[in-house]
Structure 1
Amino acid sequence: MRLYDVAPQPGSNRRRRRVGRGIAAGQGASCGFGMRGQKSRSGRPTRPGFEGGQTPLYRRLPKLKYFPLVNPKNFTVINVGKLSTLAANFEVTLESLIESGILTADDGPLKILGGGELTIPLSVKAAAFTASARAKIEAVKGTCEVLDG
Structure 2
Amino acid sequence: MKINDLKPAPGSKKKAKRIGRGLGSGHGRYATKGLKGQKSRSGGAKGAGFEGGQMPLQRRVPKRGFSNAPFKKEYAIVNLEDLNKIIDEVDIITPETLLQKGIVKDLKDGLKILGNGEIKKSITVKTNAISKSALQKIQSVGGKVEVI
TM-score (norm 1): 0.51
Paired residues, number = 89
Which residue does the alignment assign to 2:78?
A: 78
Alignment of 1:15-26 (within 5 A): none
Q: Distance in 2 between matches of 1:128 and 1:94?
A: 11
Q: Which consecutive residues of structure 2, in runs of 5 or more, have no partner in the other structure?
A: 1-58
Task: Read off the aligned partner of 2:138 and give its amino acid letter.
Answer: I
- Measured against aligned partners, the alpha-carbon deviations of 1:67-124 in whole angstroms (never above 9, x if no partner) come to 5623101211111111012234621111101111211222121111111111211110
Q: Distance in 2 between matches of 1:100 and 1:112?
A: 16
Which residue does the alignment assign to 1:26?
A: none
Q: Distance in 1 between matches of 2:93 and 2:72?
A: 25
Q: Distance in 2 between matches of 1:102 and 1:73?
A: 20
Alignment of 1:1-149 (within 5 A): 57-58=60-61, 69-88=69-88, 90-147=91-148
Which residue does the alignment assign to 1:41?
A: none
SS at match of 2:126: strand
SS at match of 1:145: strand
Root-mean-square deviation (CA, aligned residues, Å) is 2.7
Q: Distance in 1 between matches of 2:73 and 2:124?
A: 24
Structure number with bigger Rg = 1
| Larger mean Cα displacement after TM superposition, 109-118 or 123-132 | 109-118
The alpha carbon displacement at 1:132 in A equals 0.6
Task: Read off the aligned partner of 1:142 and give its amino acid letter.
Answer: G
TM-score (norm 2): 0.52
Q: Distance in 2 between matches of 1:126 and 1:87?
A: 15
Task: Read off the aligned partner of 2:73 and give its amino acid letter.
Answer: K
Q: Which consecutive residues of structure 1, in runs of 5 or more, have no partner in the other structure?
A: 1-55
